[in-house]
Amino acid sequence: MIALDRVTKWYPTRGGRRYILRDVSMTLPRDRNIAILGRNGAGKSTFMRLVGGIEYPNSGTISTDLRVSWPMGLTGGFQGSLTGRQNSAFVCRIFSTDRREIAERVAYVWDFSELGEYFDMPLKTYSSGMRSRLAFALSMAFEFEVYLIDEITSVGDQAFREKSAAALEERRGRASVILVSHSMPMLRHLCDMGILLENGEVSAFDTVDEAIARYQTLLREAPGMTGRAQAEPPAAVAG
């Protein structure tokens, strides 16, 4: 399980503290696939970074006894002057010291990402889509018990999207997912419960349909709150 104990997360703004989570305590079950919903600016990506250990709360603790992935889609941790291969090898060394295993994982990333010769070019020459493909392939190179997915499955052409969806479906047979997506059909397909973030509070729903219904009600009540003015804070760089 993943346990949040009195977790508070806020960012400083000109108008004062902007709270993403306020004194939240909850347990994310191991055997459920969880959809994360909320209006733009509610803190969905921040929530994922907290669960993945990329960011830390201002107070409270997040603990787990599971092997949790970093948020798939997070590309801020890459080093721009290094190549895709070098970035991949660096991450692989964090999880293994065996040279043969590292080489096999890097080869997997090269094959899955379909970056071709760009795999040996600096990340600063990549488009955002290419970075996301590398991040997705790198996540798939490891066996996690929980995969954190943040809109990554929309990356690439149709063939790559289908390949990514198939890979996730295969992993879902032996792992669970926590998913952020604006695609309601995708949430319904991959998830069986939902969490809604709103004004620093978190509501859990036993079914994803209940969560989606509440989310859509919020959008109807305050449609003007979904614009860019409510954009979430930029992702922190992992390093």
CA distances from 228 to 11, 12, 164 (A): 17, 18, 28
The pTM score is: 0.82
Given a contact cutoff of 8 angstroms between Cβ atoms, the answer to whether 232 and 46 are in contact is yes
Left (φ > 0), alpha (ψ -120 to 50) or beta: where does 127 sit?
beta
User: Which of the 8 DSSP states describes residue 66?
Assistant: S
For residues 165, 93, 84 and 138, what is the CA-based torsion angle, rounded to 10 degrees? 0
Two tokens, residue 27? 């347990």
> Helix (H) and strand (E) counts for the chain?
7, 8
pLDDT in single tens digits along all 239 residues of the chain: 899 999 999 999 999 999 999 999 999 999 999 999 999 889 999 999 999 998 999 999 999 999 998 887 666 678 899 999 999 999 899 888 889 999 999 999 999 999 999 999 999 999 988 888 898 899 899 889 999 988 765 566 778 888 888 888 888 889 999 999 888 998 998 899 999 999 999 999 999 999 999 999 999 887 655 433 333 444 443 33
Kindly list the strands in the beta sheet with 59-64, ordered across the sheet, starting from the edge strand earlier in the chain. 16-28, 2-13, 59-64
